[in-house]
A and B are shown apart, each in its own frame.
Chain A
Amino acid sequence: MIKVCTEDFDLGLLTNELRQKSPQSGAIVNFVGLVRDINHGQSVSKLFLEHYPAMTEKVLTDICSRAKARFSVDHIDVIHRVGELDLNSQIVYVGVSAMHRGDAFNCCEYVMDYLKSEAPFWKKESQHGQQVWLDANPTDVAAKARWEQ
């Protein structure tokens, strides 16, 4: 399941759905990304997320296909929110079910690392009343590179 939406999600419900459609799985790994109150030393009061609708799901689907080819997993679910998000809000969810935990952990990290560097989303933060577009983080590029060695 891949979804881009403005609405919040319920981690408990998502985990149950993933569990129920994965009877052969022995492990589920979930990742949730949040809006934090400080970024690069600046206090943040709100986040706006823009995306390229026609391309976003295509890229996420492609990342999940590559992840499924690389790791032995049963299902990968991805939800990414867009629009205005308050502090502490959930931004992104990646849930992976697999027979064994190693593949589930690795696959979840792989999907997040590629999502951060390939999926067409852009964050704009409210910092002290100023609206600031975020720059790409070099550590995200490094995180992706480790899967390409």
Chain B
Amino acid sequence: MITLLFFGRLRELLDCQRLPLEITSAVDVASLRQQLADKGPHWQEFLSLQHALVAVNQTMAQEQTMINDGDEVAFFPPVTGG
């Protein structure tokens, strides 16, 4: 089981803040994006690379970063603090 988190505009568009997800084996970020995109048109559009950065266990991740059981994976738009 991994935990997916969504923030900012992405959280509102997907109408989802937190989503537990079963994974049978380790996957990379790119495969996870694809798996989520299959959930519907909104997910497809808003989980694209341009719209959603990704952090694995609170550290910024790349498309090839591996995700293991128990990990926390957060998707969010480019940051706008300060």
Contacts and interface: CB of A to CB of B under 8 A. Distances in A.
Contacts of B74: 52, 55, 120
A133 B82 contact: no
A119 interface: yes
| Band of interface residues on A | 20 to 34
A121 interface: yes
Contacts of A66: none
Contact of A58 (B58, B72, B79, B82): B58
A134 B55 CA distance: 20
Interface in A33-62: 33, 49-52, 54-55, 58
B58 A116 contact: no
B78 A119 contact: no
B5, B58, B81: most-surrounded residue (chain A CB, <10 A): B81
A92 B59 CA distance: 22
Given A54-B58, A55-B55, A58-B58, A133 B81 contact: no
Given A52-B74, A133-B8, A121 B55 contact: no
A135 B11 CA distance: 15
Interface of A: 33, 49-52, 54-55, 58, 80, 91-92, 112, 115-124, 133-137, 140
Contact of A92 (B12, B78, B81): B81
B82 A122 contact: no
B80 to A, nearest CB: 5
Contacts of B5: 52
Contacts of A133: 8-9, 12, 77, 80
Nearest to A62: B59
Given A50-B8, A52-B76, A122-B80, 5 more contacts: A52-B55, A115-B82, A116-B79, A122-B77, A134-B80
